Amino acid sequence: MVQQLSSNVSRTIQTKLVLPPDTNHMGTIFGGTVLSYIDEIAAISAMKHSGNVVVTASIDNVNFLSSAKVGDILILEGFVISTGRTSMEVYVKVECQNLETRHRTLNTTSILTMVAIDKDGKPAPVPSVIPETEEEKQFFEGAPLRRERRMLYKNVNQ
């Protein structure tokens, strides 16, 4: 029997302060810095779900929706939204909070595929995920289409 885990098992929240070295010449955070944060939280979420180390297999999309500047706080939230045999899709949402006004805006969204790796460096089976909230259920239901798009893209580029 395949083990099943709630999305909450993988849910991870991190908070980051935007500092001057994180920003570009326009005073806003580098997209690459945000991508690094996204990859890190996705890996942590996937490791919590699978109980194994993981590697990033793909980043389906990254939507930069707003910018963050020095002194802003980034709130990152990641959780597993679907699983394959050895892979996990992880949704990551990044919000930007202005410290003075406390106003939050959606900064970035992304879906990554992480693969669990065993002690021998081989892909390892992962528990399936049980979506609980409406948001989680919508992501879960869209998983077959996203997988199909990834496979199509992979086949075209081989």
Q: What is the pLDDT of residues 84-102, one digit of tens each?
A: 999 999 999 999 999 999 9
Prediction pTM value: 0.91
Q: pLDDT at position 135, please?
A: 93
The answer for 81, left when phi > 0, alpha when psi is -120 to 50, beta otherwise, is alpha
Provide the token pair at 28.
């806003």
Tokens 């944060």 correspond to 37
Q: Name the 3-class secondary structure at 81.
A: strand
Q: pLDDT at position 101, please?
A: 94
Interatomic CA distance for residues 90 and 114, integer angstroms? 7
Q: pLDDT at position 72, please?
A: 97
Interatomic CA distance for residues 130 and 83, integer angstroms? 10
What domains can be seen in the chain, in order of their start residue? 4-156 (3.10.129.10)
Q: pLDDT at position 1, please?
A: 52
104-119 pLDDT tens trace: 999 999 999 999 999 9
